[in-house]
Structure formats: C-alpha cells, structure tokens
C-alpha cells in the first residue's frame, strides 16, 4: 500500500520554509503527499483587502503544492484565528481521517507565534483522534485504524519564544534540493513582492537559504538541512516507529552523533 505523508502548516509558505525539502524527498521515496495550511494568509499584506489576498495566497499555495505533486487541502480559518477549539479541531480531524497519513509533518510545539503553536496542537490531536468513533468530526468521516508517526519541524529561527536554541533529534540533508525548495517558496509571489519591497531584493528567498544554512551548520555535516523532532509514540504508533528515518536514512544525521 502506498505510504502517505501529510504536511500541516499554519500559513501559506510555512510548509515551504520548514518542511518542503523533507516532503519532496518523501515524494521521491514513493509517498503520496498532502499539503494543508490551517490559516488562509489573510493578514500577509499591507496592500490588498482580505478577500483579494486570501484568493491570491490560495492560488499560490496550490501552485506550490502542485509543483511537488502534493494534494492541496483548503485552509479552515484566517490568520491569528488559529485556536485550539472544537470547530477547528473537528474540521482538521475530518481531513486527517480522509488523508490517513503514515507520517504527519507539522510545526514545533514551541514557535515564535501562536498560530504555529496552535497548528501543532491541532495537528497532534487530530492525528490522535483518527480512530475514535465517538469524536465528532466535520464533515463526518469514518475512523482510520492505522498507525501514524508525528514529526515536528524546527521553530522559525530555530529558537523558542524565550530565545532558547531548539536542537532537533535529527537533520535531513536538503542541499541538493535547496534550489527546488526555493522555487516552491517563489510560488508565493505576493509574499515575495511584499518582503522584497520592504526588506530588499530577494530577501524572501534568501531568508529560506539562510535558515536552512543555519540548520546545516547545526548538523555539523550538511550545507543545507531541515531539523526534526519525533513526537512521543503514545496514542500514535509503536515506540520504535520512525518511518521518516527509515525512508531517508542515507541523508540523515542524528543530533547526538
């Protein structure tokens, strides 16, 4: 049976920044890929009204997902409206059952802003509730019984909100996929334009290179890398299950090696 990977980010472009290299590599390994941002990017502008920017960012995210062959899932709330509440959880849980992933990629449990942190909580609990028939999901959807392993990306900037450095469990080498990864970020034209104008030419894309280079330096081995931490197995999978490392083993180095 085809294995499935589901990337759940907060905003359009978060998957590209923090998870895209690993997601592409899972696609190369034969995984079916799924892409969803909880929020619709409504606040990512000083120029357009809400309706316009939401439609622009939806198109951009769909283009980025399509460029790696990932199935796009619609956002379910606005920026700064990502709360760990029942309606949002019920909707994400329905999508989680529909996708039935073997691997979930999502944000760090601690990150620089609450949409990211809450997205992580929502994704973890939606995965946890995948097999619980008495948990109502919107729209209603049958439960799934398969195991799932959840992995957390690095927080944006590699630091928690109290400025402490976050060391991942392991690093994935994305050096030879870096420019493809940058190309997926470049699909987010509205964000590139905004940040390039306010912060200088190509600053948007360069920020990604700089972040991946920083993680690469942390790895002590790779030029560009993404860092990951594996969620505790309880309620999700077997203690030793680590499908990401199994599949991408030859381009992974552990933090303590």
Quick one: which segment of 12-20, 77-85, 94-102, 130-138 binds Zn ion (CB under 5 A)?
12-20
Quick one: which segment of 4-12, 69-77, 165-173, 221-229 binds Zn ion (CB under 5 A)?
4-12
By CB under 5 A, residue 14 contacts Zn ion: yes
- Helical ranges in 79-188 per DSSP H: 86-99, 114-128, 178-186
Instruction: Count Cα atoms within 13 angstroms, Cβ side, for 50.
Output: 6
In the complex with Zn ion, the residue whose CB is nearer, 11 or 209, is 11
Q: Smallest gap, in angstroms, from Cβ of residue 111 to Zn ion?
A: 8
By CB under 5 A, residue 57 contacts Zn ion: no
- Residue showing the smallest CB distance to Zn ion in the complex: 11
In the complex with Zn ion, the residue whose CB is nearer, 10 or 225, is 10
Q: What's the CA gap between 235 and 249, in Å, rounded?
A: 25
- Its sign, for the CA torsion 254, 175, 215, 61, is negative
By CB under 5 A, residue 11 contacts Zn ion: yes
Q: Smallest gap, in angstroms, from Cβ of residue 20 to Zn ion?
A: 14
Structure tokens at 89: 């959880």
In the complex with Zn ion, the residue whose CB is nearer, 129 or 182, is 182
In the complex with Zn ion, the residue whose CB is nearer, 4 or 120, is 120
By CB under 5 A, residue 10 contacts Zn ion: yes
In the complex with Zn ion, the residue whose CB is nearer, 38 or 127, is 38
Q: What's the CA gap between 103 and 5, in Å, rounded?
A: 5
By CB under 5 A, residue 60 contacts Zn ion: no
Quick one: which segment of 13-21, 59-67, 196-204, 213-221 binds Zn ion (CB under 5 A)?
13-21
Closest CA to 75 of 23, 118, 12: 12
Q: What is the largest CA-CA distance in the chain?
A: 52
Q: What's the CA gap between 197 and 205, in Å, rounded?
A: 13
Quick one: which segment of 14-22, 45-53, 75-83, 245-253 binds Zn ion (CB under 5 A)?
14-22
Q: Smallest gap, in angstroms, from Cβ of residue 80 to Zn ion?
A: 11
Q: Total residues contacting Zn ion (rule CB under 5 A)?
A: 3
Q: What's the CA gap between 131 and 144, in Å, rounded?
A: 5
Sheet of strand 32-37: strand arrangement: 71-73, 32-37, 4-9, 103-106, 149-153, 225-230, 170-173, 252-254
Please report, as ranges, the residues that interact with Zn ion according to CB under 5 A: 10-11, 14
């Amino acid at each position: 049976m085809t294995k499935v990977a589901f990337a759940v980010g907060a905003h359009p472009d978060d998957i590209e920044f923090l998870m895209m290299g690993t997601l592409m590599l899972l696609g190369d390994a034969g995984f079916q890929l799924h892409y969803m941002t909880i929020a619709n990017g409504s606040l990512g502008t000083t120029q357009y009204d809400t309706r316009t920017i939401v439609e622009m960012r939806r198109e951009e995210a769909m283009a980025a997902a399509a460029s790696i062959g990932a199935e796009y899932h619609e956002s379910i709330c606005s920026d700064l409206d990502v709360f760990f509440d029942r309606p949002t959880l019920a909707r994400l849980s329905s999508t989680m059952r529909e996708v039935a992933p073997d691997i979930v990629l999502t944000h760090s449990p601690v990150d620089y802003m609450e949409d990211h942190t809450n997205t992580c909580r929502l994704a973890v609990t939606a995965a946890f509730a995948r097999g619980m028939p008495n948990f109502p999901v919107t729209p209603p959807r049958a439960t799934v019984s398969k195991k799932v392993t959840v992995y957390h990306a690095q927080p944006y900037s590699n630091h928690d909100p109290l400025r402490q450095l976050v060391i991942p469990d392991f690093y994935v080498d994305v050096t030879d996929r870096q420019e493809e990864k940058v190309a997926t970020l470049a699909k987010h034209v509205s964000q590139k334009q905004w940040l390039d104008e306010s912060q200088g030419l190509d600053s948007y894309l360069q920020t990604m290179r700089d972040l991946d280079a920083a993680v690469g330096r942390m790895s002590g081995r790779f030029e560009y890398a993404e860092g990951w931490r594996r969620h505790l197995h309880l309620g999700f999978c077997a203690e030793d299950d680590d499908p990401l490392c199994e599949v991408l083993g030859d381009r992974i180095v552990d933090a303590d090696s």
